Amino acid sequence: MSRASAPRSTSPDGDPLRRAIDELSTRPPAVELPATHARTADRIPMRTRAPFPSPLFEDTERNLAALLVWLRRTTRQTDLVVGVSIETTEDTRIVPMRFDLSGSPSFREVAEAVRDRIALAHSEPVSTGDILTGLGLRGLGELFQIALLTNGSNLDGMDFVLRTGEGIVEYDGALFDAADMERMLAHFATLLGGIEEDPELPITKLPFLTDAERTKILFTWNAKEVDFPRDATLHSLFEAKVDETPDAIAVRQDGRTLTYRELDEQANQLAHHLIGLGIGPESMVGVCIERSFEMVIALMGLAKAGGAYLPLDPAYPKERLALMVEDSGIETLLTQRHLVDSLPDSKAAPVLVDAEKKLWSGAPVTRPAVAMDPTNLAYVIYTSGSTGAPKGVLLDHRGRVNNFLDFNRRFSIGAGDALIALASLSFDMCAYDVFGTLAAGATIALPKPDEMQDPAAWTRVLNESKVTVWHTAPAFLVMLVEYLEANPEHAPASLRLVLLGGDWIPVTLPDRLRKLVPGATVVSMGGATECSMDSTIYVIDEVDPTWTSIPYGEPMANQRAYVLDDELEPLPVGVAGELYLGGIGVGRGYFERPELTAERFLPDPFQRAAGVEGARMYRTGDLARWMEDGNLELLGRLDNQVKIRGYRIELGEVEARLTAHPAVKEGVVVARADASGEKRLAAYIVQDPSWEGPEEEGDVQAERVEDWQAVYDHAYSQNTEDTEDPTFNIVSWDSSYTNSPLPEDEMRLWVDQTVARIGRNPRDRVLEIGCGMGLLLFRLAPEASRYVGSDFSKVALEYVDRHAKRMGLSQVELESRWADDFDGIEDASLDQIVLNSIILDFPSMDYLMTVLDGAAKAVRPGGTIFVGDVRHGPLLKTYQTSVQLFQSSDETPLDDVRARTQRLLRQEEELVIDPRFFQWLANRHPALSGARIQLKRGSFTNELNAYRYDVTLFVGEAPAKPDTTPEVLDWASGVQTFEALRMRLTSERPKHLRIDAIPNGRVLRDARSAAILDAVDAPETAGELRALLDDLDARHGRGLSPEAFWKLAEELGYACDIRWSVNGENGAFDACFVLGAPAERGEALGQIFLDGHPVEPTLAASDFANNPTMAKLSRQVGPELKRHLAAQLPEYMVPSVFVPLDSLPLSPNGKVDRKRLPEPDTSRPDMASPYVAPVGAVQEVLCMIWADVLGLDRVGVEDAFLDLGGHSILAVQIQARLNEILPFDITLPDIFQSRTVARLADLIRSRGRESGLDAEEVCAMLLEIEELDDDEIEAQIGS
């Protein structure tokens, strides 16, 4: 609207209170002035005199109208709620008033609206307390933070108060520095002067900045004029360096080099050829070439011919390339032979820069004479807009020459420098990587095309080429830093300059890099493709710990920056507006998009007023503000603003607060529609592995072990009575697929096979760590002279002790101790240590290494360490996919299966290990001589023999191996069928035969499921996936059971050993056969594989496994971040869901690709019973806790804990939460036996009655406390 107004309720009744409540119920958030400091609970009351003409103070209406206009101009908000003192003969009330200043009303119109509103307040008095009650608010501070008060009114806790009558301003000194308040009040005074001069002027046109501030912002901070060669082109700068240093290295890749002279001559030859094809100034030519010498030659040759390059990155989808080729209408395309098939069909004639060199190899090596102007087109880059349709940006030579020379001059880049070129061809950074580097006389260091995403390869290039300059988007540096933090010995000492642009720089990144490469200068660069590559710059010397983002910087040479309002008027320091970029470098516009060009590329009114003819500026769409020191702060995108429940939110502000938390390595926030269609904020985070949990948390690793202790005590206590066979107590051995006990016959075979493998090694003196209910102990102890069983479960130890005494096993000693406790155990005192089905409960690889170090000392030379039932790390995804698919109906959407699988992978709380770890350990540990890694036995298939394996570690001398060299065959190419193998073993009787990569029938179908789940063209439902798997099984087979190979060996007189193949992700295995070697049921008794798989020695133990501690912390991240943000942001700005990711999806340019972020999966899974909402406080608290611990959006009272994805560790966490709340204990059996929220709630109420307490009342109090903020809680405690 164009006229100011006070919104009125449309309520039909004449009740003033109802109208007031209706008017304020749809209010915006309380208006906030731009603050110097982040809001905290602390307040510092300050007072100052306003520099206003004294007559203003005597007129409340004029006061209020001026205050509203000042707020409108300062905050750029149009819907304003302020508090106003209303004096009557009886009393003085503070009334909340709402005004609409949208459009461009005049001051006189604002004053009329104010007069009407104040008159209404007098004629229809309403109790402020009644308004607050009707709105469900606790205080006026939730309605407004800015007030106009008389001397007789008092109101604490306000950000800003203007007092009529005396012109005193009261403000919160914790939010505003005195200088900032003085500046804002000077704007108020300037505004008042404009009002006095012309009250009919639209309020958006009234003068606002002081003359001095306007001059500083528009001209002083933009005084960046620097002389540069205005007639130069990008290739002429290169040619000047060729003439100076022709033999200097221009390009280096994979040991090969290209000198400046060689590059010049080859580019000249190509240029002559292109000219012959009709290429000249203003010709647009496509370039689709991988990172190579040919890419550099093509770009330089095309420039010399006068043409402009249109980059077509080979990594882009074919559909996007097709759109760019069609839209641009290019007729020539420079590419490589192997890329032709990946290019879209078009009329563009390909020129193969690798395969067709002979066409121009005879062309002159002299520079072609082409009449060019620096205003000619240099390149055209397609960028995506808010509509998603890419548009071509037209950029000339002059702006690039200015920008590139500015970098080279500013940072003394020249001969002797080398830059690693990582930017995508389609990213404007690539233009500097090629033309800017060559303009400096420096060297371009090119990784190979297949190394563009490999930080280990980058590090090699950095060191081999002695790279001094890094120039990428921040995400690439994050990848490098993470690699170097794990491998600090590879840090490139030569690196001196790091240029970062194109996306947000994580605040911690510069210091992380400088810890690895001391002395490196880190630079933040800002800008837009539509202007110079970079238009602003900031050298990051020290990172202020209070920063939520890295400053965007100041304008670069011959460039300008403005922060303007909707009327293209400059905004003062601290006030956010749209960023405009001007000066040399502003592009021509968008290719064949005149309307969009006119909308985004505007005349520069400030330069034109100063006499600069034709000056233009680009409207970036970025939200920014000036800082006090003349640097810009980028706040986000204007199109990144969203409305949630009517509140306008700048996502960049939420992201800045989010990524400031130490748990977050990277993070973005987007608006997503929930199931009801309502928008909500979703935060996507990459967790920082160094985060150790909330500050109040203790030792997380110790907590993990204690959690498992509670789990096992509960499990073992379920069956401690004497059974028919007390030595075969398989309580808690349940299937992950069905949640039912595993079949007894399968468990007996599992036990017997494990005992047999342990029994093949010396076992007179044995320590079994984690003996549990004695499944192995009762079978192994009779053959030992001393058998020590240790466990952390006293329930288990009491059970074993009772039955060991009954069996007369006097050699058995039982001890309650942790796995890493070797106190009292003498070195080399044991023949064997057994860790069976126990290391999966360890909290980390560090803990496992500690245990294995202790074990290696305790075992004598010639002894062994048996590590049994190890979960297979590379097959974890396959396993979780198979479980989720098994539990899904045919109608279940595959997206749901995928989301549940990914969540379970992130939340995996058991230790799962790559089998290669044990080979790595044996290679590096001085006490170990070898490792034997074996698949489990069994003709059946269950999760124990499909996804677990056994390891025997040899202490001291290495075991004997066959003295023959095996014949090695690949299954697919050398054997192919089981019958062919049988025939070969029968007829040829080879002494030593090894077959590699045998498809594993136990996991092959599951592995196919996992692969299909990741495919772009995956089916839509679980039923469709099962049908596809059936078809694949029929056409390609289901693989072979490892047990068949042991049985074949037994049948034919061979000894057989089976291990995992080197590629662990598909579950294939290798089988080795030795004729006549000792064997038992076909299984070799000794080591018959001559060597293990090669393992990179520079890896660390943690590289071979997941991190269960981090998995536990991942469940705490969401609640912790919600608390963190709630303390700093209004409720509507706090994301409702936090989605953990392994990494953020990146575009080829290295920017976060928000379109590829997955939909959040916190939904309650499909259940047999419908959702039933909680009734009463006990059920509500239980549903809240279950949902929080399980990471779900909601839990129904009839939902079963196990069906929701619950397991023992999560039950421990629920138990701990309940026992913090309730004055009586809830046990783990209570949770498991109750199964649902409804039954557990009944139990809690019953137990409360037994204790003389009302559980409903206790839980109701908790829910009430949850609604209070910290100040209110302290007040309650104080009273």
Same domain, 55 and 186: yes
Q: Could you give phi then psi for residue 36, rounded to 5 degrees? A: -80, -35
Q: How far is the C-alpha of 327 from the C-alpha of 1108, rounded, in Å?
A: 51
In the chain (1279 residues long), the average pLDDT of successive 10-residue segments reads 47 72 82 83 88 66 92 92 86 90 92 93 88 84 90 86 86 92 93 91 93 95 96 97 97 96 97 96 96 96 97 84 92 95 90 93 94 95 68 95 97 97 91 98 95 91 97 91 90 96 88 94 94 93 85 96 94 93 95 94 94 93 92 84 64 84 89 64 85 62 54 53 72 81 91 93 93 92 94 87 92 92 94 94 90 96 96 94 91 86 83 94 92 93 94 90 89 91 94 94 94 85 93 92 95 94 84 90 86 82 85 74 80 80 76 78 60 86 85 80 70 80 81 87 90 86 70 49
pLDDT of residue 1208: 64
> For residue 1148, what are the contacts with CB-CB under 8 A and spacing of at least 6?
313, 315, 316, 424, 426, 427
Question: Between the CA of residue 1209 and those of 655, 771, 847, 1108, what are the distances in Å?
Answer: 32, 20, 18, 11
H/E element holding 350? strand 349-352
Task: Tell me, yes or no, whether 156 and 181 share the same domain.
Answer: yes
Helix (H/G/I), strand (E/B), else coil: 407: helix
> What are the tokens at 1172?
């039933």
613 assigned to some structural domain: no
Tell me if 428 is assigned to some domain. no
CA distances from 898 to 501, 674, 882, 883, 1021 (A): 34, 19, 11, 11, 11
CATH number at residue 1157: 3.30.300.30
Contacts of 523 (CB under 8 A, 6+ apart): 411, 497, 498, 499, 500, 537, 538, 539, 540
- The CATH number for 1232's domain is 1.10.1200.10
Laid out side by side, the sheet with 765-769 consists of 812-816, 786-791, 765-769, 830-836, 859-871, 948-955, 928-935
Cβ 291 vs Cβ 327: under 8 Å: no
Residue finishing a domain among 178, 208, 238? 208
Same-domain status, 175 and 101:
yes
- 834: phi then psi, degrees, rounded to nearest 5: -110, 125
- Residue 946 identity: A
Q: Nearest CA to 396 among 292, 284, 248, 271?
A: 284
Task: Indicate if 1116 and 1210 belong to the same structural domain.
Answer: no
Supply the DSSP string of 904-931, one letter for each residue: HHHT--S--B-THHHHHHHHH-TTEEEE
Boundary (domain end) residue, out of 180, 208, 236? 208
Note the pLDDT of residue 11.
43
- For helices 894-906 and 876-886, the axis angle rounded to 10 degrees is 140
The answer to whether position 1042 is within a domain reads no
What's the angle, vertex CA 1147, arms to CA 1145 and CA 1149, rounded to 5?
A: 135
User: SS3 for 973?
Assistant: helix
Q: What is the pLDDT of residue 387?
A: 46
Q: Using CA of residue 1075, residue 1079, residue 1080, residue 1085, what is the dihedral sign?
A: negative
Do 1139 and 1215 belong together in one domain?
A: no
Alpha helices for 293-416 (secondary structure H):
293-304, 318-328, 397-410
Say if residue 21 is in the same domain as residue 54: yes
Token pair listed for 456: 């280990």
Beta bridge partners of 554: 537
Q: Same structural domain for residues 92 and 176?
A: yes
Provide the pLDDT for residue 707: 57
Do 28 and 173 sit in the same domain of this protein? Answer: yes
Domain-embedded: residue 838 = no
| 570: DSSP letter | B
Distances (CA, A) of 843 to 699, 1033, 1047: 11, 38, 38
- DSSP SS3 for 969: strand
Number of domains the chain is built from? 3
Start-to-end C-alpha separation, the chain: 49
The answer to whether residue 66 is domain-embedded is: yes
Domain that holds residue 46: 16-208
The number of residues making up the chain comes to 1279
Q: Tokens for 1001?
A: 């029938």
Question: Please, are residues 1107 and 639 in contact by the beta-carbon 8 Å criterion?
Answer: no
Contact 440/241 with Cβ under 8 angstroms?
A: yes
- Residue pair 224/557 in contact (Cβ under 8 Å)? The answer is yes
Q: Are 831 and 863 in contact (CB under 8 A)?
A: yes
Question: Does the residue 827 lie in any domain?
Answer: no
Q: Are residues 1182 and 1157 in the same domain?
A: no
Extract long-range pairs of 729-732: CB within 8 Å, 24+ residues apart. Answer: 729/773, 729/774, 729/775, 729/799, 730/775, 731/773
* Nearest-angstrom CA–CA distance, 1074 and 374: 76
Residue 59 sits in a domain whose CATH number is 3.30.559.30
Q: Are residues 1153 and 1184 in the same domain?
A: no
Q: What is the predicted pLDDT for the residue at 167? A: 79
Contact criterion met (CB below 8 Å) for 10 and 118: no
Question: Given the DSSP bridges, would you call strands 616-626 and 577-583 parallel, antiparallel or unpaired?
Answer: antiparallel
20 shares its domain with 135: yes
pLDDT on residue 1146: 79
Instruction: Say which residues have a Cβ less than 8 Å from residue 1258's Cβ, sequence separation at least 6.
Output: 1221, 1222, 1223, 1248
Distance of CA 269 to CAs 124, 305, 333, 1013, Å?
88, 10, 17, 50
How many other C-beta atoms lie within 10 A of the C-beta of residue 1062?
15
pTM of the model: 0.68
For the packed helices 1004-1014 and 894-906, what is the interaxial angle rounded to 10 degrees? 100
**Which of 168, 189, 208 is the C-terminal boundary of a domain?**
208
Beta strands in 1082-1176 (DSSP E): 1083-1084, 1137-1140
- Output b/e per residue, 450-485; b: 16+ Cβ within 10 A: ebbeebeebbebbeebbbbbbbbbbbbbbbbbebbe
Residues 1182 and 1113 both lie in one domain: no
Closest CA relative to residue 39, chosen from 1128, 1269, 1125: 1128
Rounded Cα distance, 476 and 471, in Å: 9
